Amino acid sequence: MIELKSIELKNFRSWEHLIYPFKDGITLLEGKIGVGKSSIPMAIKYALQGNIEGLRKADLVREGQDDLLVKLDMLVEDRNVTILRKKSGVQLFIDSIPYHFKHNSLLDNIKDRTKFAFLFGFSSFLDLRPSERKKYIENLLPDMEFLRKTVGDYLFRMEKNVEFKIGKINLSLWEDHLKFLIENLEVAKNEIKDIKLKLRKAVKERKKQPKEYNLDDIKIKIEKLKSQKQKIESKLSDLNKEKLEKSKDLNSIIVFEKRYDFVKNKVKELKKNLKNLEISIKFEKCKWCGQEIKDLSFIQKKKNELESEIAEQIAILKDLNKKLSKFSSESIKNEVESLDELIKSNEKMKYEIQLQINDLQAELNFYKAEMENRQKIFDVIEIYKKQLKDLNEKKQQIEKEIEKTERIYKIKQNSLDILDKLLARIKDSRIELKEIIKKYYDLFISKLVFAMNAFSEGKITVDENLVFKYNGRKYEKLSSGQKQLMKISASLALAYFAHSVDVIVIDETFDVNLDLEAQQKLAQMLANLKTIFKKIIIISHNSDLKNAIKFDNIQHVDLVDGKSYLEEIAT
């Protein structure tokens, strides 16, 4: 059992701040309705579980505030444990040292152990319909829930899993697979036979192929001829350049000769004109018209001009003659013709060399083609060999797969028999589990009635439909006082079975409208409960309850300006 030491609240519902130590004995927590009494056990529940059924976290924060704080100090397995819970998260301290959730499952352990602690509404248990009572009790029985949900679900899943496995073991599929493998094996054998035939043909074809050719000699000859051709082309280039220069010289000489003849004729013409002018001056008559010349100065001036021009033209003739003396158009023509002959001769040689190169290249290509064809046959043979190897491996794999499939087929047959037997056993176990759950449920009901009778003198009975009776009368037909006693006994009994902490809280169950005998019985019930729980908290809005029952501690709760306050009252 977990021992609770104290709880501190900040901005939790109507509490601005409260430090509440859990005291031994029976404590009365009294106050009017709505002043915040029930918030204390609610805060314990929130600290332990992190939530309150039916309420959002935002509903737990005091109005006008953004966050809350609940600090619960307790003793778990002789270690001081503190849970510090806010709206945004939780922190855990063990002996005042922060605890890291990744390395321990202590908080989960606490939550599981206190899952059914501080369940509110025990007092309304008998007011529920019988079917609702059954469900209510089942929620208080973690073992029963474990059996139904964990063991029962496990057996159900196991049954479905076995059925699924049985469904998956389709022997006809394995038979079809085995047939398919045998057909593939026959196909592989036929393919191997066909490849072997093709391989033999390719080997015969390889033997017919010529041996390796030495292509290097042909390549060397081609390179030599290409070198000769390159030299001839270089020589042709030089000859053509020389021919071009000679042709230019020849054209220049022809131009000089034509100009020489032109100048020579021009000098001759000028001399003739000069002679006529001299005759005209001598006889003072115009040589051309025969008229007398009165002014000879003009003629004399003209004569001087002609003499000057004749002198210039003669100088030109001398220069041309000097140039022509160095060259001979006839010799240059002969040189050009010789160059033409050399060019033609080299062109012919170049053409003949190219023919030789073409012949050698054709021979080289032929031999290459022969060798490539030979290599292709080699490649085809290698391909056939690889295909044959792959097919043999495929054949071996198929044979292994056939052997494996036959072995698995036998295993599947045996597995199917085993699974059928297992399914029958699981179904029997599910029937047995239902009987165990029923026995466990019936045992709890008998313990519950026994506990209730411990508080009510053994006058309470219950049938299989959870219809409770007191002295043979149904709960619904009892007087209000008798109902109240039964409700109290039910609350105390359920609280005893449900709680896993040393504090028991009974909220709004007790009614002081009981006669003296009933009050005495109530006091005796609490005295019996005190022997089981160290700390008992009774929450009631009726302040007169302290006059009917002797309490060890009395605390009054009040609400002022929307804030709850706690006041200790002397007993």
Is 344 in the same domain as 226?
yes
Q: How many CB atoms lie within 10 A of CB 505?
A: 25
Beta-bridged to residue 474, according to DSSP, are 469
Q: Cβ(125)–Cβ(136) under 8 Å?
A: yes
Which residues of the chain fall short of a pLDDT of 50? 103
Q: What pLDDT does residue 36 have?
A: 93
Is 225 in the same domain as 363?
yes
Q: Does 445 reside within a domain?
A: no
Q: What whole-number distance in Å separates Cα of residue 443 and Cα of residue 447?
A: 6
**pLDDT 10s digits, 508-523:** 666 556 667 766 777 7
Tokens of 188: 């592989």
Q: What whole-number distance in Å separates Cα of residue 266 and Cα of residue 260?
A: 10
Q: What pLDDT does residue 136 have?
A: 77
DSSP string, 472-531: TEEGGGS-HHHHHHHHHHHHHHHHHHH--BSEEEEES---S---HHHHHHHHHHHHHHHT
Instruction: Read off the CATH number of the domain in which 39 is found.
Output: 3.40.50.300
Range of the domain at 25: 1-115+501-517+538-571
CB-neighbour burial class of residue 422 (10 A; exposed 0-12, middle 13-18, buried 19+): middle
Q: Does 343 reside within a domain?
A: yes
Is 101 in the same domain as 233?
no
Beta pairing, strands 25-30 & 69-76: unpaired
437 closest CA partner among 149, 144, 146, 156: 144
Q: Does 289 reside within a domain?
A: yes
Three-state secondary-structure class, residue 56: coil
Q: What pLDDT does residue 336 have?
A: 77
Query: What Å distances lie between residue 518 and 221, 486, 523, CA to CA?
Result: 136, 11, 9
Is 235 in the same domain as 361?
yes
Of 326, 353, 369, which marks where a domain is finished?
Answer: 369
Give the total number of structural domains in the chain.
2
Instruction: Read off the CATH number of the domain in which 303 is found.
Output: 1.10.287
Is 220 in the same domain as 102?
no
Q: Does 124 reside within a domain?
A: no
**Helical residues (DSSP H) of 64-209, grouped into ranges:** 106-113, 130-139, 142-145, 153-168, 171-208
Q: Does 85 reside within a domain?
A: yes
Q: Does 172 reside within a domain?
A: no
Q: Does 52 reside within a domain?
A: yes
Radius of gyration over every alpha carbon of the chain, rounded to an integer in angstroms = 66
Q: What whole-number distance in Å separates Cα of residue 63 and Cα of residue 79?
A: 36
b/e burial code for range 2-40 (CB count within 10 A of at least 16 → b): bebeebbbbbbbbbeebebebbeebbbbbbeeebbbbbb
Of 369, 384, 406, which marks where a domain is finished?
Answer: 369
Q: Does 507 reside within a domain?
A: yes
Nearest-10 Cα torsion for 513, 516, 521, 525:
60
Maximum CA extent, the chain: 199
Q: Which residues contact 499 (CB under 8 A, 6 or more apart)?
A: 116, 117, 118, 533
**pLDDT 10s digits, 143-153:** 666 777 777 78
Is 236 in the same domain as 350?
yes
